């Protein structure tokens, strides 16, 4: 069986077409996983579709008609309600950091990063100075960096303390750290409207949770009123943490994914070994 040039070109075109479709699906699923709001939308859509199949299977006429209207007008409603999230995804598509620009830190760099942040938070906590420190990971925060005061400075506890010191013009905003460098200060983040957040917490905590809901970043908060420490990550807020808690969470969250997978494999092997013995 021989192939002509036309057949080869046709096969290559189909392969490229399939690869592009999978790349689009990968990008969409990656953003859904890293964005709490989008994941809720995805779950809601999946629930409606599954319910529609069930109603058709059992012949539920009334609920079937209602679900048809939801499926018909639902996409338009989602576009209107979730316009900011959709716009953010489209803006991210236009950036060069399509696959993420998080710098993989060495062990020494991670230790230095955690040490400097912990030193700064310890001082800020004792002095009751409010602070919001955001560590970028795979999802780019370039949209917030563009509107903030650029620094591009080496990370140090003294620098973080001076930024959040009272009467500093950048005191009320947040700091964004990319890799092991302070990229900007005075960043403004969207505030979360989640009903789960403690109503006694202020704008700084809501901003931390808001950016953690929209990206995979780590948001560290020092309360100005109480000096208590909190961390927002993966769309959840962890309150009233000790310095040891913050240190352990930072170390775990900053570890590269391959290291976590390796540790999980080791644990599985140990469990199998113990069961065999």
107-258: CATH homologous superfamily?
DNA integrity scanning protein, DisA, N-terminal domain (3.40.1700.10)
88/213 Cα distance (integer angstroms): 13
24/60 Cα distance (integer angstroms): 35
What residues does each domain of the chain span? Answer: 5-93, 107-258
Upper half-sphere CA count for residue 45 (Cβ side, 13 Å): 15
pLDDT in tens, 207-241: 999 999 888 899 999 999 899 999 999 888 999 99
pTM listed for this prediction? 0.65
pLDDT of residue 78 exceeding 70, the answer is: yes
Coil, strand or helix: which one is 151? strand
pLDDT in tens, 167-190: 888 888 899 999 889 999 999 998
Q: What 8-state DSSP symbol labels residue 192?
A: P
Q: Which two tokens stand for residue 27?
A: 């990008």
**In this structure, are residues 277 and 149 in contact, taking their beta carbons and an 8 Å threshold?**
no
pLDDT in tens, 100-159: 444 577 888 899 999 999 999 999 999 999 999 999 988 888 889 988 999 999 999 999
């Amino acid at each position: 069986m021989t192939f002509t040039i036309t057949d080869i070109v046709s096969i290559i075109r189909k392969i490229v077409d399939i690869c592009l479709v999978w790349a689009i699906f990968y990008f969409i699923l990656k953003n859904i996983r890293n964005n709490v709001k989008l994941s809720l939308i995805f779950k809601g859509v999946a629930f409606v579709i599954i319910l529609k199949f069930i109603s058709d299977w059992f012949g539920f006429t009334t609920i079937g008609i209602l679900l048809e209207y939801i499926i018909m007008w639902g996409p338009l409603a989602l576009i209107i309600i979730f316009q900011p999230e959709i716009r953010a995804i489209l803006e991210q598509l236009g950036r060069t950091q399509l696959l993420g620009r998080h710098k993989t830190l060495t062990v020494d760099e991670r230790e230095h990063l955690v040490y400097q942040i912990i030193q700064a938070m310890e001082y800020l906590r004792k002095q009751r100075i409010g602070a919001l420190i955001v560590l970028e990971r795979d999802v780019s925060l370039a949209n917030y960096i563009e509107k903030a005061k650029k620094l591009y400075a080496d990370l140090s506890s003294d620098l973080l303390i001076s930024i959040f010191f009272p009467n500093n013009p950048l005191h009320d905003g947040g700091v964004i750290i990319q890799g092991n460098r302070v990229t900007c200060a005075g960043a403004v983040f969207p505030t979360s409207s989640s009903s789960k957040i403690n109503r006694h917490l202020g704008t700084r905590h809501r901003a931390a949770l808001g950016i953690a809901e929209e990206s995979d970043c780590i948001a560290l908060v020092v309360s100005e009123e109480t000096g208590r420490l909190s961390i927002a990550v993966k769309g959840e807020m962890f309150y009233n943490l000790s310095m040891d808690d913050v240190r352990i969470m930072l170390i775990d969250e900053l570890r590269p994914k391959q290291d976590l997978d390796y540790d999980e494999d080791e644990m599985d092997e140990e469990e199998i070994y113990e069961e065999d013995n």
